[in-house]
Structure 1
Amino acid sequence: MQRSLIRHLPLVLLAATVLAVPALAQTPVAGTTTDLAAIDTAVAEFTGRAIGLPGGAAQPVDRRLRLARCAAPLAIGWRTGTAGERRDTVLVRCPDAGGWRLYVPLASAPPAANAPDATPVVQRGEAVTIAMIGDGFSVEQGGEALDPGPVGGWIRVRSAAAPGTGPAARSEAMRARIVRPGLVEVPVE
């Protein structure tokens, strides 16, 4: 009997390994998943609003998610769609090969006005530099603020018309975050 067990030991070990692997796959090992609280923080920094506030994430990311750890920094931007679409969802993605995408809905009511205690550093009608920021690039152009706002606040802006095109060539308004007086940024994917 003992000799029979020794002869079949490699087969028994192989069977035990095959049965154990699926159980291990269901239990994430510490350090192999993305920190979901870090995603919440990144979305709050991107929108300039806390979770639950108008314009911020509607709720925290579901803690049951097990997203693979991302070696590269997370890429965050607006969910893109048809022109003129409201910006009501933030796209968080892992740019690694085979990475994941997570869509974070924002609280439904857009901010009607900036916080009352925040001092506006950009005024309506003021000339601003609009920086279009994306993965690995940044493009700047002149524009006009359509709303007043404080640093970190979101306002509507419009890029300046090209010289010689006249007032009919005005561009559509877009939302931008105020970086400092005279500079706003529009994250793009």
Structure 2
Amino acid sequence: MVTIFRRALLLSAAIAAPALGQGFENLEMLDSRVAAALGANVGEPGGPAAPLDRRLRLAACPEPATIEEPAMNAVTVRCPAQGWRIRVPLAGGGATVTRAAAVRAEPVIRRGDQVEVVALSRSFSVSTTGIAEQDGAPGDRIRVRTERRSAPFIGQVTQDGRVALPGFN
């Protein structure tokens, strides 16, 4: 009888073990999404200063977490459905404001403009249209939506007035 109880206990522990990890956000995936949104990998100028702390236990977000534009040398990642928010520090050369940056170029995209969103690669290019949620000069990162109800994403304004998705080159 005791042997059957031990086997049942071990079996239930083995079945429950994988279920424990399912309730938390995948931090490796979140790291890669932040790097893609910023257009720079961990440790590179403009990218995250370090990977997310693996000790974080964020509740799994039912929809993709939003990544806001860089501000005060960090980017904010948030899950409105779960109510969590984290700030990810940026590596040097990121969103720091210098005197040269204070003299900004004239925006080529205005909030509400319909823009061409492009993903460019050496072997292909894909484009669609979106609506700009911010003004943007060439080189600026702005929020864009492809549909009214879709989550915004961040792209970089090009010289010709298009918005390029980060992570493609």
TM-score (norm 1): 0.46
- After superposition, the Cα gap between the structure-2 partners of 1:33 and 1:141, relative to the gap in structure 1 and judged at 3 Å, is closer
Identity of aligned residues (%): 37
- Say whether the 8 Å CA contact 2:69–2:75 is kept in structure 1: yes
Deviation per CA, 1:126-174, whole angstroms, max 9, x where unpaired?
98335679xxx944688653xxxxxxxx4489xxxxxxxxxxxxxxxxx
Identify the residue that residue 93 of structure 1 maps to in structure 2: 78
The 3-state SS of whatever aligns with 2:21 is coil
What is residue 178 of structure 1 aligned with on the other side?
A: 157
The alpha carbon displacement at 1:177 in A equals: 1.1
Gaps spanning 5+ residues in structure 1: where? 1-23, 80-85, 112-124, 146-153, 158-175
Over 3 Å counting, the alpha-carbon distance change for 1:52 and 1:131 in structure 2 is farther
Matched, 1:104 2:88: yes
- After superposition, the C-alpha distances for 1:98-144 in whole angstroms (9 at most, x for unaligned) are 42101100002238xxxxxxxxxxxxx798335679xxx94468865
CA RMSD of aligned residues (A): 3.8
SS at match of 2:91: coil
Cα distance in 1 for residues equivalent to 2:45 and 2:87: 17
Q: Distance in 1 between matches of 2:157 and 2:89?
A: 22
CA displacement at 1:30 relative to structure 2: 2.3
Q: Computing the radius of gyration over CA atoms, which structure comes out larger, 1 or 2?
A: 1
Residue of structure 2 in register with 1:32 after alignment? 23
Structure with larger RCO (C-alpha < 8 A, sep 6+): 2
Q: Which residue of 2 aligns with 1:171?
A: none
Aligned 1:55-70 pairs, distance under 5 A? 55-70=46-61
Query: Paired residue for 1:47?
Result: 38
Amino acid at match of 1:94: C
Contact 1:131 1:184 in 2 (8 A): no
TM-score (norm 2): 0.51
Which structure 2 segments of 5+ residues have no match?
1-15, 96-104, 114-129, 143-154, 165-169
Aligned length: 112
